[in-house]
C-alpha cells in the first residue's frame, strides 16, 4: 500500500474492484480510488459554492482575445498570483490606463475548469487603484510608523568617516551599481564593496531586499549599507514603502543609506534610513570622502595652523620687546638704587639724630648726677660728718633715744664703725 507523499513503484496485483466509487474521500483506498471524472466535478461543485470576492493585485501579462481579457493578478509583496478573466465590457473603460504593473481591484468568482484541472477567477467588475488611494495608504502607514518613533531624528546614526567595507544592494541589472562603485572608488580607491544583486521592483523585491539588508547587517566587516536603484515610477517604488521592508530597515544596526532616487514622492525607506541620498551617485559622495578634497583640507589646515602659530609668535615677540624696552626692565636696579639711596640717607639721618640725642641725654644725666651728689648725704659725710644709727637702723638725733650700753653704728664717708653707748 502506498503512503502519503510517496509513489509506489510496485505493480498493482489486482485491478480496482468493480462497483460504484466510495461516497467520501476518506473511504477511498488503493483498491477503490476515485477516478478523475469523479473528483473533478466535486472540486468544481465545492468551488462553485464560494461567494464572489474583491481581490487586489498587480496586473501582469494582460492580453485580449475577442471579447475577453486574460491577465495574471499577482500579489505586490509575495510571489503569488491568480489567473483572471474579464469581459471586455468591464475593462474597456480602463483600457487607456491599464497596463502591466497597474494595480487593480477586481470582483470575481472562482471557477474550476474540470477538463484541465485549472482554477481561474471570472471578474465582472474591475477597478483601477488610483495614485491617490495608494498615496493615502502610504500616508496611513507613515502615520503608524511615525507614532512608533521609527522616523525620529534621534534614531539616526552618523555614517563612519571612512568605511573600509560598504554593503551595496542593487538591481541585478542597471546603472546604480556602476554609479555607486565607480564614483566611490574615484573618491577613495581603497574602499571595498559587498554587493547583493536583488530584484528591486515587483513582488520579489520586498523579500529579497529585506533578506539582503539582514544579511549585510550580520556581516561584521560591513560598516555602512546602501540600498540603491536608478529611480522609477511611483508604482515601481511601492516595495520601498512596504511595512515589512521598512521595519527590517529600522531594525538594522548598521548605518543605512537610501538611494532609490525618486524626487516626486518620498518612499518610507527614505524616512527610516539614517541618510537619504537623492541618487546613487550622491550616495557614493556621502559614504566616502574625496581623497583630493581631504588632502586639500589638510594642506589648508596646515597652512592655517602655521599662519596662526606665526602670528602668535610675532604677537608674543612684540609684547616681549615692548616690556623689555621699559626702563624698569632695561635697567632693573634703577628702582632699587633709588630706594637704596633713600634708605642710606635716612639711616645717616637717624644715626646723627640718635647721636645728638645721646649726647644731650649724657649731658643731662651728668648734670642731674651732680645735683644728686650735691644733695646726697654722702657729700656731707665727705666733709667729715658722720651718721649715728641704732642697731635697728634708726638715725639717732637725740641722746635720749638711747640708753647706756646700746650698740650703735657710725657711718662715715669711707665706711662704718661699731660703737656702744657709755655714760649716757
- Minimal CA–CA distance to 91: which of 99, 80, 101? 99
Sign of the torsion angle spanned by Cα atoms 190, 194, 197, 199: negative
Q: Walk along the chain (424 residues) and give the pLDDT tens digit of each residue.
A: 334 344 344 444 445 555 678 888 888 888 889 888 888 888 888 888 889 898 888 888 888 888 888 888 888 767 788 899 888 888 877 777 777 777 788 888 898 888 888 889 888 888 877 666 667 777 888 888 889 999 899 999 999 998 999 999 998 887 889 999 999 999 988 899 999 999 888 777 888 999 999 999 999 999 999 999 877 777 778 888 888 899 999 999 999 999 986 555 678 898 999 999 988 999 999 999 888 888 888 889 999 999 999 999 999 999 888 887 777 777 777 777 778 888 889 999 999 999 999 999 999 998 888 888 777 777 777 777 788 888 888 887 888 888 888 888 888 878 888 888 887 5
**What pairs with residue 127 in β-bridges?**
105
Residue appearing with cell numbers 474583491:
54
Q: Who's near 412: CB < 8 A, 6+ residues apart?
A: 381, 386
Q: Look at residue 197 and give its three-state secondary structure.
A: strand
Q: Are 257 and 277 in contact (CB under 8 A)?
A: yes
Amino acid at each position: 500500500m502506498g503512503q502519503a507523499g510517496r509513489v509506489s513503484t510496485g505493480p498493482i496485483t489486482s485491478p480496482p474492484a468493480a462497483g460504484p466509487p466510495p461516497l467520501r474521500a476518506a473511504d477511498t483506498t488503493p483498491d477503490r480510488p476515485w477516478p478523475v471524472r469523479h473528483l473533478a466535478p466535486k472540486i468544481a461543485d465545492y468551488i462553485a459554492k464560494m461567494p464572489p470576492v474583491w481581490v487586489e493585485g498587480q496586473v501582469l501579462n494582460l492580453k485580449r482575445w475577442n471579447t475577453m481579457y486574460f491577465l495574471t493578478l499577482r500579489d505586490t509583496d509575495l510571489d503569488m498570483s491568480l489567473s483572471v478573466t474579464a469581459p471586455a465590457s468591464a475593462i474597456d473603460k480602463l483600457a487607456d490606463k491599464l497596463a502591466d504593473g497597474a494595480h487593480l481591484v477586481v470582483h470575481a468568482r472562482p471557477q474550476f475548469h474540470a477538463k484541465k484541472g485549472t482554477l481561474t477567477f471570472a471578474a465582472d467588475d474591475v477597478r483601477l487603484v488610483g495614485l491617490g488611494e495608494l498615496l493615502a495608504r502610504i500616508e496611513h502607514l507613515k502615520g503608524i510608523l511615525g507614532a512608533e518613533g521609527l522616523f525620529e531624528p534621534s534614531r539616526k546614526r552618523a555614517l563612519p568617516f571612512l568605511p573600509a567595507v560598504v554593503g551595496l544592494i542593487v538591481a541585478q541589472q542597471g546603472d546604480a551599481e556602476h554609479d555607486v562603485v565607480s564614483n566611490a572608488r574615484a573618491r577613495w580607491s581603497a574602499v571595498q564593496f559587498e554587493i547583493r544583486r536583488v530584484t528591486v521592483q515587483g513582488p520579489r523585491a520586498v523579500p529579497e531586499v529585506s533578506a539582503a539588508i539582514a544579511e549585510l547587517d550580520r556581516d561584521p566587516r560591513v560598516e555602512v549599507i546602501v540600498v540603491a536603484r536608478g529611480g522609477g515610477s511611483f508604482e515601481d517604488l511601492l516595495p520601498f514603502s512596504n511595512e515589512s521592508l521598512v521595519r527590517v530597515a529600522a531594525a538594522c544596526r548598521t548605518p543605512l543609506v537610501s538611494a532609490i532616487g525618486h524626487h516626486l514622492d518620498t518612499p518610507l525607506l527614505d524616512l527610516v534610513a539614517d541618510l537619504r541620498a537623492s541618487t546613487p551617485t550622491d550616495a557614493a559622495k556621502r559614504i566616502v570622502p574625496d581623497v583630493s578634497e581631504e588632502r586639500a583640507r589638510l594642506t589648508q589646515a596646515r597652512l592655517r595652523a602655521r599662519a596662526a602659530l606665526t602670528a602668535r609668535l610675532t604677537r608674543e615677540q612684540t609684547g616681549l620687546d615692548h616690556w623689555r624696552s621699559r626702563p624698569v626692565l632695561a635697567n632693573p636696579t634703577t628702582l632699587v638704587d633709588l630706594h637704596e639711596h633713600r634708605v642710606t640717607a635716612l639711616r645717616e639721618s637717624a644715626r646723627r639724630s640718635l647721636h645728638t640725642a645721646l649726647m644731650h641725654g649724657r649731658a643731662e644725666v651728668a648734670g642731674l648726677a651732680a645735683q644728686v651728689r650735691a644733695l646726697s648725704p654722702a657729700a656731707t659725710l665727705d666733709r667729715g660728718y658722720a651718721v649715728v644709727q641704732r642697731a635697728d637702723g634708726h638715725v639717732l638725733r637725740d641722746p635720749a633715744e638711747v640708753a647706756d650700753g646700746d650698740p650703735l653704728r657710725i657711718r662715715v664717708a669711707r665706711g662704718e664703725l661699731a660703737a656702744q653707748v657709755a655714760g649716757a
